[in-house]
């Protein structure tokens, strides 16, 4: 997210002459952007230049958010339906970003950075920022300058307020070496072009130039608001990637969220609120038709879980629990946080959906990441193209054939009233769906539970919860060693056919 406009000058010399010509030309197309990204990948990486790092760093959070873009300076690159306002740089978003508008004939206009297009207090340190510095990002407002519904701000991050008007998890343009024993790389969008919607149903078209030590990229985003089918917003993404260097782990369509604790692991709760999380599970629809639900964990150490697949139908970080009573937070409303569902377009081939879980002790740290890792290693000179939709939904797409997991709980093992066994936990999983309605204990429903690195103890029970369309699965587990027990569980009918999605988890016994 660092620009090529510096101080009061023009473009940074870190842009090649071709890049400067491509950006400055009167006509600019997506093909031009792809050529620019490819050309840049052949050049050494130039870190972004911040001409006033000390000034930016001393700007506090409150000082930064008192700086507001002037309504009368609002941009309308796609008409009155998608007003755009720009973000001022600050301590957490210090790298200058170029903003351009593009008209229907591909004509390009630079949006110059100027303090005069912002309102700021008289004592704001921002008054001393060098002229022509650069923006931090942008947001798209609702018609009539009503609250924004999508923003691009920081590195390659972007997010929407989802179907209930509450910001939560984020998406990224790319993830590089996430969760590994080496520093993670955070490429940034250093330039954006904003233009009229190109496809039916879209509000705005956005093109972006990605740049990082190991990669460059040309992106197109189609921004759609309030889609009826998804019951939320849709961001259509086309990413053309060009490898500047070898990368061990290339994460496509990454989602970033926060999970501290829920009813699943209440023993680690230190806050008065019953649950605190932006997402509570990873959902996957595999290429073969298997539907997986993996509840999120707050692990003791960084955890990586991979789900190998071929041409996945979709995956996402989901906030299934949408009951206010389960959170009791009337300030940030975790029950209203959006889910994000990645819907691949075209052939993604073989690879894996990968989930990274990082320990956290509070709610301010995004500790959950999910993305697709191609089987083919990313090497210098390689090129990749991926297209996908991000559906910012209340829930993941539901199957009419399979019941979904609605609760995961764990506690002490054994039977009430009898001595409590050591090092044994009880798992309780609740399923809900139309297929379960009317079924009883004599309907031939059978639980399937499998484990590695541990033992599933009898009895394994599955039964209907009185007064609901839910079934409850319970069993005890014994851990083999210090590593978590890997478990998968689901219900089948008397014909042996699955009637629920597959619940999978890594469970640690007696977490303190």
Q: State pLDDT tens for residues 357-375.
A: 999 999 999 999 999 999 9
- pLDDT bracket for residue 306 (50, 70, 90): very high
Domain 404-507, CATH homologous superfamily name and number: Immunoglobulins (2.60.40.10)
Judge whether residue 266 has pLDDT over 80.
no
Query: CA angle 487-491-496, nearest 5°?
Result: 115
Q: Which range among 111-115, 265-269, 314-318, 457-461 shows the weakest confidence by mean pLDDT?
A: 265-269
| Structural domain spans, the chain | 1-158+173-248, 250-294+303-376, 404-507
CA atoms of 25 and 35, how far apart (whole Å):
14
pLDDT of residue 422: 86
Please name the residues in contact with 17: beta carbons below 8 A apart, sequence gap of 6 or more: none
pLDDT of residue 385: 98
Q: Which range among 19-28, 161-170, 417-426, 436-445 shows the weakest confidence by mean pLDDT?
A: 19-28
pLDDT tens digit sequence for 104-122:
999 999 999 999 999 999 9
pLDDT tens digit sequence for 409-427:
999 898 888 888 888 999 9
Per cent of the chain over pLDDT 90 is 82
Judge whether residue 7 has pLDDT over 60.
no
Judge whether residue 51 has pLDDT over 90.
no
493, exposed or middle or buried, with CB in 10 Å at 0-12, 13-18, 19+? middle
Shared fold status for 1-158+173-248 and 404-507: no
Q: Write a three-state SS string for 144-207.
A: CCEEEEEEEECCCEEEECCCCCCCCCEEECCEECCCCCCCCECCEEEEEEEECCCCCCCCEEEE
The mean per-residue pLDDT over the stretch 300-318 comes to: 97
Give the CA radius of gyration of the chain: 25
Q: Nearest to residue 171, comparing CAs of 349, 355, 392?
A: 392
Judge whether residue 16 has pLDDT over 80.
no
- pLDDT bracket for residue 222 (50, 70, 90): very high
CATH class of the domain whose range is 1-158+173-248: mainly beta
The mean per-residue pLDDT over the stretch 210-215 comes to: 98
Judge whether residue 81 has pLDDT over 60.
yes
- pLDDT bracket for residue 25 (50, 70, 90): low
The mean per-residue pLDDT over the stretch 391-399 comes to: 93
Most confidently modeled of 40-54, 307-321, 398-412? 307-321
pLDDT of residue 297: 95
The mean per-residue pLDDT over the stretch 253-276 comes to: 92
* DSSP H or E run through 36: helix 30-41
pLDDT of residue 13: 31
The mean per-residue pLDDT over the stretch 19-28 comes to: 58
pLDDT of residue 24: 54
pLDDT tens digit sequence for 331-366:
999 999 999 999 999 999 999 999 999 999 999 999
- Do 351 and 372 contact (CB within 8 A), yes or no? yes
Mean of per-residue pLDDT scores for the chain: 92
Judge whether residue 74 has pLDDT over 70.
yes
Judge whether residue 1 has pLDDT over 70.
no
Judge whether residue 512 has pLDDT over 70.
no
What is the largest distance, in Å, between two alpha-carbon atoms of the chain? 80
Higher pLDDT: 437 or 122? It is 122
Retrieve residue 21's tokens.
């010509």
pLDDT of residue 18: 35
Judge whether residue 57 has pLDDT over 60.
yes
The mean per-residue pLDDT over the stretch 325-330 comes to: 96
Retrieve residue 122's tokens.
């008289």
CA atoms of 327 and 272, how far apart (whole Å):
10
Strands 204-211 and 188-195: antiparallel
Q: What share of the chain is helix, strand, coil (3-state, %, to 5)?
A: 10, 45, 45
Judge whether residue 434 has pLDDT over 90.
no
pLDDT of residue 23: 56
Can you tell me whether residue 89 is helix, strand or coil?
A: coil
pLDDT of residue 21: 43
């Amino acid at each position: 997210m660092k620009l090529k406009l510096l101080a009061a000058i023009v473009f940074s010399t870190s842009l090649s002459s071709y890049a400067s010509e491509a950006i400055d030309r009167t006509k600019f197309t997506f093909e031009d952007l792809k050529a620019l990204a490819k050309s840049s990948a052949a050049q050494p990486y130039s870190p972004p230049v911040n001409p006033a790092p000390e000034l930016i760093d001393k700007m506090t959070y409150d000082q930064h958010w008192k700086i507001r873009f002037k309504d009368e300076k609002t941009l309308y690159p796609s008409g009155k339906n998608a007003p755009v306002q720009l973000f001022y740089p600050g301590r957490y978003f210090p790298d200058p970003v170029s903003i351009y508008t593009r008209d229907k004939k591909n004509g390009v206009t630079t949006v110059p950075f100027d303090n005069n297009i912002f309102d700021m207090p008289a004592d704001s340190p921002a008054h001393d920022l060098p002229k022509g510095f650069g923006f931090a990002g942008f947001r798209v407002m609702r018609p009539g300058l009503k609250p924004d519904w999508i923003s691009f701000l920081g590195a390659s991050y972007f997010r929407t307020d989802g179907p209930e008007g509450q910001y939560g998890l984020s998406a990224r343009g790319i993830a590089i070496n996430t969760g590994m024993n080496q520093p993670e790389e955070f490429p940034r969008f250093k330039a954006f072009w904003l233009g009229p919607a190109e496809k039916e149903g879209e509000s705005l078209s956005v093109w972006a130039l990605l740049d990082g030590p190991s990669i460059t990229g040309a992106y197109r985003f189609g921004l759609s608001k309030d889609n009826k089918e998804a019951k939320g917003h849709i961001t259509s993404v086309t990413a053309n990637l060009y490898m500047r260097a070898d990368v061990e782990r290339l994460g496509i369509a990454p989602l970033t969220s926060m999970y501290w604790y829920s009813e699943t692991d209440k023993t680690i709760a230190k806050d008065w609120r019953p649950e605190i999380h932006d997402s509570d599970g990873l959902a996957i629809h595999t290429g073969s038709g298997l539907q997986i639900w993996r509840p999120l964990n707050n692990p003791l150490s960084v955890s990586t879980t991979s789900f190998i697949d071929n041409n996945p139908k979709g995956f996402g970080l989901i906030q299934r629990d949408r009951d206010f009573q389960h959170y009791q937070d009337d300030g940030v409303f975790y029950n209203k946080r959006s889910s994000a569902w990645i819907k691949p377009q075209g052939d993604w081939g073989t690879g894996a959906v990968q989930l990274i879980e990082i320990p956290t002790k509070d709610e301010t740290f995004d500790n959950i990441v999910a993305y697709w890792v191609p089987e083919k290693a990313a090497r210098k000179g390689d090129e990749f193209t991926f297209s996908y939709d991000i559906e910012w939904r209340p829930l993941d797409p539901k199957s009419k054939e399979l019941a979904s997991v609605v609760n995961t709980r764990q506690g002490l093992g054994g039977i009430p009233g009898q001595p409590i066994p050591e090092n044994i936990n009880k798992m309780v999983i609740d399923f809900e769906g139309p297929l379960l309605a009317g079924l009883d204990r004599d309907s031939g429903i059978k639980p399937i539970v499998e484990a590695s690195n541990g033992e599933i103890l009898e009895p394994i029970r599955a039964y209907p919860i009185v007064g609901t369309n839910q079934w409850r699965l319970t069993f005890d587990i014994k851990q083999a060693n210090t590593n978590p027990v890997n478990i998968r569980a689901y219900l089948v009918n008397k014909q042996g056919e699955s009637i629920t999605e597959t619940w999978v988890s890594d469970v640690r016994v007696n977490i303190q």
